[in-house]
Amino acid sequence: MPNPLLTRGFAGEEAIIDAAAQSRDLPMETTPGETMTMAGVLGATSVLLVLVLVGAAFGWQTSESQTVVLWVSTAVMLTAALTTVFKPEWARITGSVYALAEGVALGAISRMFSDIYEGIVFQAVMATLAVFLAMLLLYVGRVIKVTERGMTGKAPAFMSWYAAFALMVTIVWLYLEMLRHIALIRNR
């Protein structure tokens, strides 16, 4: 028997979205300039990724105090991520804080891997970009069809930052997995 959630969709999905928004006092009826858009998500994602790169440059330079830097940045990341999840309307600020802290941690982690495996960071970045670009091409070519329900006037504009936060977390996770898998392959 097929999974009914996958074949029919989630029963009462609209009601759940409305109830969740009302429980947080989020505006459901918005004017055209106040709604989530794909351009808003892409712009916010770009800003967050630049902040990750700025943080990574700092994290890369802190080779003498990597352990302390990792602990502090991880604490900041956890706090910012939890705040973003529970207060998505704050995502512009908390997502930015998270991106900087994530960047610092990524820079320190990348430096540690680079000290052990020469050229691994470049390989992981290229592999991550290849996957990202492949998925983007599949999306643009309409092979992967993403619903636009959240962008049809139902989601407030601040959700663009929340979606950008989620996308950035995914890209960073993909990079870390690429780094780990390349290291495992090199250890064979």
- pLDDT-derived band at 1 (thresholds 50, 70, 90) equals very low
* Chain mean position to CA 17: 22
Q: Which residues does residue 156 pair with via DSSP β-bridges, in sequence order?
A: 35
pLDDT surpasses 90 at 118: yes
Distance CA 94, CA 19 (A): 24
* Contacts for 184 with CB less than 8 Å, ≥ 6 apart: none
Q: Which residues does residue 35 pair with via DSSP β-bridges, in sequence order?
A: 156
Write out pLDDT tens, residues 31-80.
556 888 888 989 999 999 999 999 999 999 986 778 888 999 999 999 99
Domain residues for the domain of 120 are: 32-186
Which pair of structure tokens corresponds to residue 143?
A: 């092979």
Report pLDDT for 98.
97
- Contact indicator for 7, 13 with CB cutoff of 8 Å: no
How many domains in the chain? 1
Phi/psi region, residue 129 (left: phi>0; alpha: psi -120 to 50; beta: rest), is alpha
Give the residue with greater pLDDT, 172 vs 28: 172
CB-count exposure of residue 12 (10 Å: 0-12, 13-18, 19+): exposed
Give the residue with greater pLDDT, 85 vs 144: 85
Q: Is residue 99 part of a domain?
A: yes
Q: At what angle do helices 91-116 and 159-186 cross, to 10 degrees?
A: 10
Write out pLDDT tens, residues 68-90.
889 999 999 999 999 999 999 99
Q: Is residue 176 part of a domain?
A: yes
Compute the average pLDDT of residues 167-178.
Answer: 95
Report pLDDT for 90.
96
Residue 130 dihedral angles phi and psi, to the nearest 5°: -60, -45
Q: Is residue 97 part of a domain?
A: yes
Q: Is residue 24 part of a domain?
A: no
Q: Is residue 25 part of a domain?
A: no
Q: Is residue 69 part of a domain?
A: yes
Q: Is residue 95 part of a domain?
A: yes
Q: Is residue 21 part of a domain?
A: no
Give the residue with greater pLDDT, 53 vs 148: 53
